[in-house]
């Protein structure tokens, strides 16, 4: 009997990519895949002909480009529950004797899917698209203020957060940001529904956070499957919501080995106009070749690179290339890339580790703060800018990483970490074994 898995990603680039990568992994293990998705930020079904795609309404405008992520999550959780329930119920009714729908796999950011799956008697597995270490902190984050960690005085800014290592107290403000009122209830529901699920799938591996994976089992009391890095099992997935500028690859072909600093702050992070200019001058003053992704909307209210004067733009073009979006996995794997100035989203951090590219950390917030601390303080495979978006700091970090002895030591540590993570996805590795266990678990549901 054919076994089908229903998958339901959050409509964010950093959530869609891992879900479709996981779908490829499960399909390779013999499962048929149906992807339910929102109309907002819908994935391109034509790029994934092996899967079935079903679209539901979500009440979010397609033209809504500048959105607060917390507000977006609240809105789609309110609007998508009924359409999702109806869609899933129809699928279950339509399933034939020759096919069994084994389970639902959805993002932990969906708050209603556990109740819906229970009402339809369908097991649900939770996909976590960030570090297990961060999910483990979900029960703690709403309590940080009552524990006295907030507000943070200048004298305590560098102190460690004992319940949330390796974060420092000043990092907490950028984890919580302005969404604290909405955040507490969101996290509590996420924890409660995850504890009622049939298991958690992490885009991680034991080599990166074995202790945290064991702690996750204790906190949530469900099976845990660390099967990442997902993208290591297949070539780059065509699931980008943005049009990729392929001209950057032939440009990289003309550069020397490990000479280019790749700069991308991801699909959601925004910067101020002044910060954007500081990055531009920092890159120019570093005198290093660079490939800079300037996503439309990176600077709110500004049309792409219009802030750059003709003189500055001309100077930048002498050393680097600016694109609206890049095929990141292909870029990071290119021989010319020597460093990555990144926001430290978990996808980007994993991709950088897998290609052995050391990082300059410029986190925007949320789990990026934790990822960047692991990169700089635990694994020691990158440089943390500590929120200083200043041309001199950027120049110093780029030159240190690309030209100085300390940068070479960072690169050596990154190569060791790369090799350890690479072993996890090979036959007999921790992630490979976890995929086999996951497939068996789904078949038993």
Structural domains in the chain, CATH included, are 2-228+427-444 (3.40.50.2000), 248-422 (3.40.50.2000)
pTM here is: 0.94
* DSSP letter, residue 355: T
Q: Are 218 and 10 in contact (CB under 8 A)?
A: no
Looking at residue 270, what DSSP letter applies?
-
> Per-residue pLDDT for 56 more than 60?
yes
pLDDT band at 155 (very low <50, low <70, confident <90, very high): confident
Look at residues 259, 399, 395, 237 and name the one whose alpha carbon lies nearest to residue 329. Answer: 237
Strands of 124-128's sheet in order across: 52-56, 32-38, 2-8, 99-107, 124-128, 200-202, 224-226
- The DSSP code for 80 is S
> How confident is the model over 348-363, as pLDDT tens digits?
999 999 999 999 999 9
Phi, psi of 299 (to 5 degrees): -105, 110
pLDDT at 237 over 60: no
Report CA-CA distances (Å) from 412 to 206, 358, 386, 418.
21, 9, 23, 10
Distance CA 339, CA 408 (A): 11
**Residue holding tokens 């339809």?**
120
Q: Is the pLDDT of residue 59 over 90?
A: no
For 179-211, what is each residue's pLDDT tens digit? 667 788 999 999 999 999 999 999 999 999 999
Q: How confident is the model at residue 62 (pLDDT cuts 50, 70, 90)?
A: low
Record the tokens describing residue 126, joined without a space.
């939770």
What is the predicted pLDDT for the residue at 234?
74
Taking only the tens place, the pLDDT of each residue in 392-414 is 999 999 999 999 999 999 999 99
> Taking the C-alpha atoms of 375, 376, 377 and 380 in order, what is their torsion angle to the nearest 10 degrees?
80
Question: 161-181: per-residue pLDDT in tens?
Answer: 988 989 999 999 888 875 667
């Amino acid at each position: 009997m054919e076994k089908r898995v229903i998958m339901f990603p959050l409509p964010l680039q950093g959530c869609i990519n891992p879900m479709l990568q996981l779908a490829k992994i499960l399909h390779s293990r013999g499962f048929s895949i149906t992807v339910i998705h929102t109309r907002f930020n819908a994935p391109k079904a034509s790029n994934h002909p092996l899967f079935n795609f079903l679209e539901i309404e979500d009440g979010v405008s397609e033209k809504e480009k500048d959105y607060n992520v917390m507000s977006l999550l609240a809105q789609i959780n309110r609007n998508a529950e009924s359409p999702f329930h109806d869609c899933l119920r129809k699928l279950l009714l339509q399933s034939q004797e020759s096919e069994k729908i084994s389970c639902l796999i959805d993002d932990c950011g969906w708050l209603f899917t556990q109740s819906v799956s229970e009402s339809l008697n369908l097991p649900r597995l939770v996909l976590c698209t960030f570090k297990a270490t961060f999910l483990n902190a979900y029960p703690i984050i709403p309590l940080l203020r009552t524990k006295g960690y907030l507000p943070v005085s200048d004298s305590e800014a560098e102190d460690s957060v004992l319940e949330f290592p390796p974060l420092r107290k000043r990092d907490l403000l950028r984890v919580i940001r302005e969404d604290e009122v909405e955040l507490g209830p969101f996290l509590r529901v996420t924890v409660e529904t995850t504890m009622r699920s049939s298991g958690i799938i992490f885009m991680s591996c034991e080599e990166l956070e074995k202790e945290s994976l064991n702690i996750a089992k204790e906190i949530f009391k469900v099976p845990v499957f660390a099967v990442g890095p997902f993208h290591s099992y297949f070539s780059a997935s065509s699931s980008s919501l943005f049009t990729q500028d392929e001209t950057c690859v032939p440009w990289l072909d003309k550069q020397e080995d490990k000479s280019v600093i790749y700069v991308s702050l991801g699909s959601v992070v925004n910067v101020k106009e002044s910060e954007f200019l500081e990055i531009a001058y920092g890159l120019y003053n570093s005198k290093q070749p660079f490939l800079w992704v300037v996503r439309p909307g990176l600077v709110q209210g500004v049309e792409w690179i219009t802030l750059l004067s003709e003189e500055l733009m001309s100077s930048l073009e002498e050393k680097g290339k600016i694109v609206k979006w890049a095929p990141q996995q292909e870029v990071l794997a290119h021989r010319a890339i020597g460093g990555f100035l990144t926001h430290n989203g978990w996808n980007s951090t994993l991709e950088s580790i897998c290609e052995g590219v050391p990082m300059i950390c410029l986190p925007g917030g949320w789990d990026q703060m934790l990822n960047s601390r692991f990169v700089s303080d635990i694994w020691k495979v990158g440089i943390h800018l500590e929120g200083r978006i200043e041309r001199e700091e950027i120049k110093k970090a780029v030159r240190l990483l690309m030209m100085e002895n300390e940068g070479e030591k960072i690169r050596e540590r990154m190569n060791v970490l790369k090799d350890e993570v690479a072993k996890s996805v090979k036959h007999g590795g921790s992630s490979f074994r976890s995929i086999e266990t996951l497939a068996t678990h789904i078949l038993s549901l």
